Chain A
Amino acid sequence: MTALTVSQVTKRFGTTAALAGVDLHVADGGVTAVLGPSGCGKTTLLRLVAGFGDPDAGTIELGGKQVFGPGHSVPAQRRRVGYVPQEGALFPHLDVAGNIGFGLPRAERRDGRRAAELLDLVGLNADLAHRFPHQLSGGQQQRVALARALAPQPSLVLLDEPFSSLDAGLRLSTAAAVVEALRANGTTALLVTHDQNEALSLADQVAVMADGRIAQVGPPRDVYSVPGDPVVAAFVGAAVFVPAVVTGLTASCDLGTLPVAAGAAEGEARVLVRPEQIRLLGPADGAGDGAGNGSNGVLVGVVTEIRYFGHDATVQLRLAHSGLTVTARVPGDQLPSPGARVRLAVTGPVNAYAASG
């Protein structure tokens, strides 16, 4: 069953179109990430699903029931959708237990057991129940906000950039705890984020949004390795685009002749190469392969820049024969020195896109 179906939803603010016909299906259970740059309309989409505003056109269904359609709109308080806004937005006048119990009937609010259960679910100590929001760290606030949203057992939880205000270390652990709690509870979640790593590592399904439309939906691996168009490709990860000519299942370019996925159009194209597909094979020895034109299968590049990240590094290379600049991701312990001439090779299939796009 689908937890959420959004069909052809549009929304304009003044003259700008925030959503230009969005279609999205979210299956029951699991986490779907809506990934896009800021201003792409993803938060608008979330707010329309929650019922904080009405689309100009289109329909929204929750659990098979239409909550927005032509001439009818279920108000937010009757949609039974959990909402976790940026920075948590805990009620400052209520303690943790009061916040978690806010959406519960009075009797359940009183006895406090549900609050303890939920604190446990989001991995927080029950001692925190009587703290006030300003006495909690950012990560704790965010987890309490999730517990509050889960308390009335909603069919769907919406999370609006819930980790973006946390610093890097806290972000990873909080995100992991939140997703674990969602999965343990069997709750369907829609997570809006602009952070590729967050979307790819947390979600079961990633919907990439651009210019008010969903550009691609799929499992994280597909979205990363078989992006539907160059915009999606560049947004979900580092990308090198190389001009090429496609013939059948191969593309020939400055990086040699590379296998392409089936279905690519023949002729002029540009292929996507991820930096981790480019491997460094070791120093190029002297003048013997000076041309390094790829005809003998050996590519040679000059190292122009190195960015070191500890666990790995990116190396920028200028190809000796064509002057094309490419970026390779290499393990942190196998670094060439700047200015060195190295041999390189491309592994795995590449994706080809129409040249003009």
Chain B
Amino acid sequence: MGWSEAWRLLVRPRVGDLLVNTTKLVAGGMVASAVLGTAAAWLVERTDLPLRRVWHVLLAAPLAVPAFVVSYGWVSLTSAVEGYRGALLIVVLAYYPLVYLPVGATLRGLDPALEESARSLGFGPWRTFARVVLPQLRPAILGGSLLVGLHLLAEFGALQMLRFPTFTTAIYDQYRSSFNGPAANMLAGVLVVYCGVLVVTELALRGRQRYARLGSGVSRAAVPARLGWFTVPALAGLGAVVALALGVPFASIIRWLVAGASTAFPVGELATATGSAAGLGLAGALATVALAAPVAWLAVRHPGRVATLLERSTYTANALPGIVVALALVTLSLRVLPAAYQTTTLLIIAYAIMFLPRAMVAARAAIAQAPPVLDDVALALGNSPMRAWRRVTLPLIAPGIGAGAILVFLAVVTELTATLLLAPTGTQTLATEFWSKTNDIDYGAAAPYAALMVVLSTPATVLLTRSVRRGP
């Protein structure tokens, strides 16, 4: 493909439409998630709202419901959610916890002495929030919003169901309808640039300031703000968020389960799909952790330019939508090793690339829990380096590495885009079966798959909320 051909594919009205749609959705989704997530986090962490622990769980819970399941829950009830507004509503309901969790963790770790100092310098509560608390929350809000933005750029299932075309859905259609590799690849190129712009913008906005607590000592718990008459509207607002994000999809799944059960309940097919999803999940988790652990070890124990570069490069996958990774692997395998095309191995490689950042974060945190001084002590007590590793390091890092593996496992189980593109013909997973049933508007048949994915995702979400609770 020549430059002129590339240019022709790039500059056409279709790309302009997609750019507008994608930008509208990403901008709207990021801002709405930031506002909703921050407000919810403040209410739960810093006020005398009743039943705050319960609200915390309910507000984090939407993470356990894949966005395309939320979308299914809504779209199977009413077609009114098709289009921009519906898409915005649904992606915000699915992704606001990505802001809520880090902001909540930051608020919990924030030293109340900062706010007290501001108050003693004559600031009122609102000015204190705006001038002292908000700047402290900035990295968490920006980081969370960036994640929302990247998820929205990568989102395929939910938006396809809502008939709201973005780059990702267009790439998929282009690829599927015509197997038009060059056209799909050009769109994917634009999408990658878009992701890069988002990441760089976030880095630039975050700046180089440090927001650490200075000085030693343990910070006290903050005195919760009194809501007073505002309690009722606050409860109503949070209740509405939970009802829309959790209630509607769950009610819808149950309704279709009941309706579907009256016809047939394909236990065999369900078991097969669960089995192949679990098999892929296991293989993906093992491969990803096997790649992540040595890099994390290098980055924590032997920090240097090479180690840092290696570590950073794994995170770039965070900004790569699944569709781009899948398309790249399709192109690469067809060019270099046609035998690898549509094999399980290639699919596992795609999972490993996509979910490496999750495993890295977990492995890094785990290895940081085992400081080298413990090795020194074990050596001084007469253990050989191998024995010291087995008796001290391994027991200390195993739980964290395992948690990382579980996170990857569950991400694979609910992965749709790359699986659709790369899975060997005939391989059916929970996500792909759910997808084909929904595409046939057979909502009843899709419901058991949706329910299984939610059930499988719940433990991962609990793990995720825990690790975020402990703070960075």
Residues of A at the B interface (CB closer than 8 Å) are 47, 50-52, 75-83, 85-86, 89, 91-93, 102-103, 148-149, 151-152, 158
User: Residue of B at shortest CB range from A103?
Assistant: B381
A-B contact pairs, 25 of them (CB 8 A): A47-B376, A50-B376, A52-B376, A75-B379, A76-B376, A76-B379, A77-B379, A77-B380, A77-B381, A77-B388, A78-B382, A79-B380, A80-B382, A81-B380, A83-B380, A85-B377, A86-B373, A89-B373, A89-B374, A89-B376, A89-B377, A91-B378, A102-B378, A102-B391, A103-B382
CB pair B378–A82 under 8 Å, yes or no, is no
Interchain CA distance A47-B391 in the complex, whole Å:
22
Please name 20 further chain A to chain B contacts, defined as beta carbons within 8 Å, in addition to the given A75-B384, A77-B388, A83-B380, sorted by A numbering.
Answer: A76-B376, A77-B382, A77-B384, A77-B385, A79-B380, A83-B376, A85-B376, A85-B377, A89-B371, A89-B374, A89-B377, A91-B377, A102-B381, A102-B391, A103-B382, A148-B377, A148-B381, A149-B380, A149-B381, A152-B382
CB pair B374–A76 under 8 Å, yes or no, is no
List A contacts of B379 (CB < 8 A): 51-52, 75-77
- Whole-angstrom distance from the CB of A51 to the nearest CB of chain B? 7
- Whole-angstrom distance from the CB of B399 to the nearest CB of chain A? 9
Instruction: Return the contact of B396 from the options A79, A92, A152 (Cβ within 8 A).
Output: A92
List A contacts of B381 (CB < 8 A): 77, 83, 102-103, 148-149, 151-152
CB pair A76–B380 under 8 Å, yes or no, is yes
- Count, A-B residue pairs, CB within 8 A: 62
Interchain CA distance A51-B377 in the complex, whole Å:
11
User: Residue of A at shortest CB range from B394?
Assistant: A93
Interchain CA distance A75-B376 in the complex, whole Å:
11
Interchain CA distance A85-B376 in the complex, whole Å:
9
CB pair B369–A92 under 8 Å, yes or no, is yes
List B contacts of A89 (CB < 8 A): 371, 373-374, 376-377
Interchain CA distance A91-B384 in the complex, whole Å:
17
Question: Within 8 Å of chain A (Cβ to Cβ): is B427?
Answer: no
- Whole-angstrom distance from the CB of A108 to the nearest CB of chain B? 13
List B contacts of A51 (CB < 8 A): 379-380
Question: Within 8 Å of chain A (Cβ to Cβ): is B395?
Answer: yes
Question: Within 8 Å of chain A (Cβ to Cβ): is B332?
Answer: no
CB pair A91–B380 under 8 Å, yes or no, is no
User: Residue of B at shortest CB range from A102?
Assistant: B381
List B contacts of A158 (CB < 8 A): 380
User: Residue of A at shortest CB range from B388?
Assistant: A77
User: Residue of A at shortest CB range from B392?
Assistant: A91
List A contacts of B396 (CB < 8 A): 91-93
- Whole-angstrom distance from the CB of B380 to the nearest CB of chain A? 4
Question: Within 8 Å of chain A (Cβ to Cβ): is B383?
Answer: yes
- Whole-angstrom distance from the CB of A45 to the nearest CB of chain B? 15
Residue among A82, A86, A102 with the highest chain B CB neighbour number at 10 A: A102
Known: A93-B395, A102-B391. A82 touches B373 (CB 8 A): no
Residues 250-267 of B at the A interface (beta carbon under 8 Å): none
- Whole-angstrom distance from the CB of B216 to the nearest CB of chain A? 10
List B contacts of A103 (CB < 8 A): 381-383
List A contacts of B373 (CB < 8 A): 85-86, 89
List A contacts of B392 (CB < 8 A): 91, 93
CB pair A82–B391 under 8 Å, yes or no, is no
Interchain CA distance A215-B381 in the complex, whole Å:
31
Interchain CA distance A86-B373 in the complex, whole Å:
9
Interchain CA distance A199-B381 in the complex, whole Å:
26
- Whole-angstrom distance from the CB of A205 to the nearest CB of chain B? 22
- Whole-angstrom distance from the CB of B382 to the nearest CB of chain A? 5
Interchain CA distance A51-B388 in the complex, whole Å:
15
**Closest 4 pairs between A and B when the two form their complex, measured CB to CB:** A103-B381, A83-B380, A76-B379, A89-B373
Residues 356-372 of B at the A interface (beta carbon under 8 Å): 369, 371
List B contacts of A50 (CB < 8 A): 376, 380
Interchain CA distance A93-B399 in the complex, whole Å:
11
Interchain CA distance A57-B382 in the complex, whole Å:
25
Interchain CA distance A89-B395 in the complex, whole Å:
15
Residues 374-412 of B at the A interface (beta carbon under 8 Å): 374, 376-385, 388, 391-392, 395-396
CB pair A77–B383 under 8 Å, yes or no, is yes
- Whole-angstrom distance from the CB of B401 to the nearest CB of chain A? 14
Interchain CA distance A77-B391 in the complex, whole Å:
14
Residue among A77, A78, A80 with the highest chain B CB neighbour number at 10 A: A77
- Whole-angstrom distance from the CB of B169 to the nearest CB of chain A? 48
Interchain CA distance A52-B373 in the complex, whole Å:
10
User: Residue of B at shortest CB range from A83?
Assistant: B380
User: Residue of A at shortest CB range from B384?
Assistant: A77
Interchain CA distance A93-B385 in the complex, whole Å:
18
Interchain CA distance A85-B382 in the complex, whole Å:
16
Interchain CA distance A30-B382 in the complex, whole Å:
23
List B contacts of A47 (CB < 8 A): 376
Interchain CA distance A271-B220 in the complex, whole Å:
51
List B contacts of A76 (CB < 8 A): 376, 379-380
Residue among A52, A78, A80 with the highest chain B CB neighbour number at 10 A: A52
Interchain CA distance A93-B391 in the complex, whole Å:
10
Interchain CA distance A148-B383 in the complex, whole Å:
14
List A contacts of B374 (CB < 8 A): 89, 91
List A contacts of B384 (CB < 8 A): 75, 77
- Whole-angstrom distance from the CB of A170 to the nearest CB of chain B? 15
List B contacts of A148 (CB < 8 A): 377, 381
List B contacts of A83 (CB < 8 A): 376-377, 380-381
- Whole-angstrom distance from the CB of A86 to the nearest CB of chain B? 8
Residue among B369, B373, B377, B383 with the highest chain A CB neighbour number at 10 A: B377
Residue among B371, B374, B378, B382 with the highest chain A CB neighbour number at 10 A: B382
